[in-house]
């Protein structure tokens, strides 16, 4: 179904020919698309419902994973506690291995640096939570020296981390991200999530 199809699906005779799974996801997407012009709080709630459904269907809530909603993760700078609330985090054992953010493509732009500062803070909060724990998947990317240096303030220039965005900026067509309501991008998103799940499983 296209975005236009999903917009009218509740009153479309084709709805009756869908199976139960197809009806479920069509109605979730209809809520998201139709209510997108509403205030941020309302549309975020509807989108969160859909993302939670999607992650659950892909079994991110089944052992060895644990799906957390609106979970707080903290780190310290100059000894002061900084807390980031992450809409969707996926934990395995005692480590945070994944999170989801910036679900609305029309809600991010250059004025907010495409939400990258917020995402960076959330990555750091997850890394801090994983720090010094067995089999932490972030330790190869966020060193112990970097985490420890936060107690003394912001790290020096020679002690930094690199966060890669996906899709990369070089892919101008998908610079803002992928859109699940787009029938051509939908399989890409599912494939990426399945690959993430399998990579997490073997960590």
pLDDT at position 138 = 37
Our CA angle for 129, 132, 136, nearest 5°, is 70
* pLDDT for 140: 40
Q: Which two tokens stand for residue 66?
A: 């644990």
Rounded Cα gap, residues 127 and 162, in angstroms: 13
The low-confidence residues of the chain, meaning pLDDT below 50, are: 105, 112, 114, 134-140
Give the residue ranges of DSSP H helices in the chain: 3-8, 20-34, 40-57, 116-130, 144-149, 186-201
Q: What are phi and psi of 81, to 5 degrees?
A: -80, 130
What pLDDT sits at residue 144?
Answer: 67
ω into residue 64 within 30 of 0, thus cis? yes
* Domain ranges, ordered by start, for the chain: 59-202
Read off the pTM: 0.69
Residue 142 DSSP symbol? S
pLDDT of 102: 53
* SS3 letters across 68-123: EEEEEEEEEECCEEEEEEEEEEEEECCEEEEEECCCCHHHCCHHHHHHHHHHHHHH
How far is Cα 108 from Cα 48, in angstroms, rounded to an integer?
17
Read off the pLDDT of residues 1-27 as tens digits, 9 standing for 90 and up. Answer: 899 999 999 999 999 999 999 999 999
**In this predicted structure, what is the pLDDT of residue 86?**
77
Cα(149)–Cα(130) distance, integer angstroms: 16
pLDDT at 135: 46
Is beta strand 80-92 parallel, antiparallel or unpaired with respect to 65-77?
A: antiparallel
Using alpha carbons only, give the angle 49, 71, 42 rounded to the nearest 5 degrees.
35
């Amino acid at each position: 179904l296209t975005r236009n199809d999903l917009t009218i699906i509740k009153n479309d005779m084709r709805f009756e020919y869908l199976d139960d799974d197809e009806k479920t996801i069509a109605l979730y997407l209809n809520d998201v698309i139709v209510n997108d012009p509403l205030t941020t709080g309302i549309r975020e709630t509807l989108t969160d419902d859909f993302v939670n459904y999607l992650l659950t269907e892909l079994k991110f809530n089944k052992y060895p994973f644990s799906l957390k909603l609106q979970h707080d993760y903290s780190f310290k700078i100059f000894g002061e506690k900084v807390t980031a609330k992450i809409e969707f985090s996926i934990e395995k054992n005692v480590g945070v291995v994944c999170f989801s953010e910036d679900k609305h493509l029309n809600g991010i732009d250059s004025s907010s640096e495409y939400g990258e500062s917020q995402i960076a803070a959330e990555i750091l909060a997850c890394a801090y939570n994983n720090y010094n724990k067995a089999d932490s998947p972030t330790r190869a990317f966020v060193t112990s020296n970097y985490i420890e240096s936060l107690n003394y303030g912001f790290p020096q220039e020679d002690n930094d981390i690199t966060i890669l965005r996906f899709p990369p900026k070089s892919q101008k067509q998908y610079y803002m991200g992928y859109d699940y309501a787009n029938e051509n991008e939908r399989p890409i998103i599912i494939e990426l999530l399945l690959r993430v799940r399998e990579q997490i499983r073997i960590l």
